[in-house]
Structure 1
């Protein structure tokens, strides 16, 4: 997944988190969200992520 652009990686993380949420795997959702947030911090960018998108 590292060969994808930043935006595509974030979209893929959102899709994986949504799929886990629908399965009821809320712990995995939190892990995916934390991974996505740390990825943005590593890139040194300020991303505005709506908390509604990641709320469980």
Structure 2
């Protein structure tokens, strides 16, 4: 297995809780047939810490 470069940044709020983790990886790390210049970026946002979470599947078509 070859090594890949993963870059990341973690933003936090005033209380030190994570609010926005962002990471990037080369697409070839997941999809070997992809173009070497393609980059995947994962950008997630967290808010409302301490509230009840509700996760539901997407609505049917």
For the aligned pair, the TM-score class normalised by the smaller chain equals under 0.3
Larger Rg: 2
- TM-score, normalised to structure 2, is 0.24
Please identify which structure carries the higher helix content. Answer: 1
- TM-score, normalised to structure 1, is 0.25
